[in-house]
Amino acid sequence: MEQPAISVIIPTYNRKDALERCLDALRKQVLQNAKFEVLVIDDGSPEEIQPLVTKYAGSRITCIRQNQSGANAARNRGLSEARAPVVLFLNDDTIAEPDLLARHLALHDRYPEEEVAVLGCMTIHPDFAANRLSPLHHDASFAPLAGREEVDWTAFFTCNLSVKAAFLARHGQFDEALRWHEDIELGQRLAPHGLRLLYAPEALGYHWHSLDETQFLRIAEREGTALALWWKKAPDLAPVLGALGMVGPETLPPAFRHRLGDAAFATFGDAAALRLAEQVSPLAPGLSRAIWRKVFQFRKRRAIRDELSRVAS
């Protein structure tokens, strides 16, 4: 069998509907089928994904099942199985435009240096454009990148990211102990080895996920916990983690406005703030999102403190 030019690695867990849409989009790529392979790593889903993948008989789509170990372990497993010199990481809810693979590969052909990686763009799928919280998640991450041709490791987002396989084999893979910020943590470790991250907004993917209130606040808690675990692993990175919102250690005291806001939430409860956000949303959606953003940061800082207290005990 001909060696593919690019291997697509997709970790998945219990999201068959989104995964099916993801795979359908990959089957519609303008890049010739023989030039790419797709490795779906099923991270111990309660209902096996393999029966879904079998419908794509004749395509280069392989399903590999592992015991539930997290997305990072799934990505590392995919790396061990990938046959192409370039690997593309997608989430199972990334719906690729038909030319996404071709655009990634074209940039790697243009920049064959081992340290060059490519970040594609992500935005909310049009079917979910009306969701008031989704723009605070993916769109908020990519909006600051507009107009830039090259970005730093803090944008090492594995929802739409391609890397030379040899570069990862030489300098590091994903830390399987982390369950959030696991992608940019790897980007930080790759940066001293010369990582160059090109931004290709034309390599577009859509996020097929309607983010509800519970999920949004759960992200805040997972993000805070991951930052604290990252600080425990590398306390010398305190200034870097501080820029990502890490607070708690003596080297990273919270800003006065954060202390003031946290005191207010502790007194009145963040539930009251969320009720206010709900009430003002029809007339002042911007204010409503700002309140949600404040509550998100409060939950994130609380998760950091909780994890640090466990670390210290």
- Is the confidence at residue 90, as pLDDT, over 80? yes
pLDDT attached to residue 313: 46
pLDDT digits (tens, 9 = 90+) for 141-150: 788 899 999 9
Handedness of CA 231, 234, 239, 241 (dihedral sign): negative
pLDDT digits (tens, 9 = 90+) for 245-294: 877 766 666 655 555 556 555 555 677 677 776 777 667 777 777 777 88
Highest mean pLDDT among 27-36, 39-48, 157-166: 157-166
How many Cβ atoms are within 10 Å of 45's Cβ, its own excluded?
A: 17
Output 307 or 138, whichever has higher pLDDT: 307
pLDDT digits (tens, 9 = 90+) for 123-142: 888 776 556 666 666 667 78
| Listed range (164-168, 232-236, 289-293) with the worst mean pLDDT | 289-293
Mean pLDDT across the stretch 170-191?
86
- 124 strand-pairing partners: 207
Output 121 or 129, whichever has higher pLDDT: 121
Contacts 24+ apart (CB under 8 A), 70-73: 70/43, 70/176, 70/179, 71/11, 71/13, 71/43, 71/179, 71/182, 72/174, 72/175, 72/176, 72/178, 72/179, 72/182, 73/43, 73/174, 73/176
Structure tokens at 33: 């089928």
Q: What's the start-to-end Cα distance of the chain, in Å? A: 55
- Give the pLDDT band (50/70/90) at residue 167: very high
pLDDT attached to residue 141: 78
DSSP calls for the chain? -PPPSEEEEEEESS-HHHHHHHHHHHHT-SS-GGGEEEEEEEE--SS-SHHHHGGGTTSSEEEEEE-S--HHHHHHHHHHH--SSEEEEE-TTEEE-TTHHHHHHHHHHH---TTEEEEEEEEE-GGGTT-SSGGGTHHHHHGGGTT-SEE-GGG--TTEEEEEHHHHHHH----TT-SSSHHHHHHHHHGGGT-EEEEEEEEEEEE-----HHHHHHHHHHHHHHHHHHHHH-GGGHHHHHHTT---STTSPPPHHHHHHHHHHHHH-HHHHHHHHHHHTTT-HHHHHHHHHHHHHHHHHHHHHHHHHHHH-
Record the pTM.
0.84
Are 238 and 231 within 8 A, CB to CB? yes
Highest mean pLDDT among 167-171, 207-211, 219-223: 167-171
Highest mean pLDDT among 87-96, 125-134, 178-187: 87-96
Output 55 or 154, whichever has higher pLDDT: 154
Q: Mean of the per-residue pLDDT values for the chain? A: 85
pLDDT attached to residue 78: 97
- Is the confidence at residue 105, as pLDDT, over 90? yes
Q: Are strands 116-124 and 36-43 parallel, antiparallel or unpaired?
A: unpaired
Percent of the chain residues past pLDDT 70, beyond the cut: 85
Structure tokens at 55: 């419908």
Dist CA 293 CA 137 (whole Å): 10
pLDDT attached to residue 128: 65
pLDDT attached to residue 264: 56
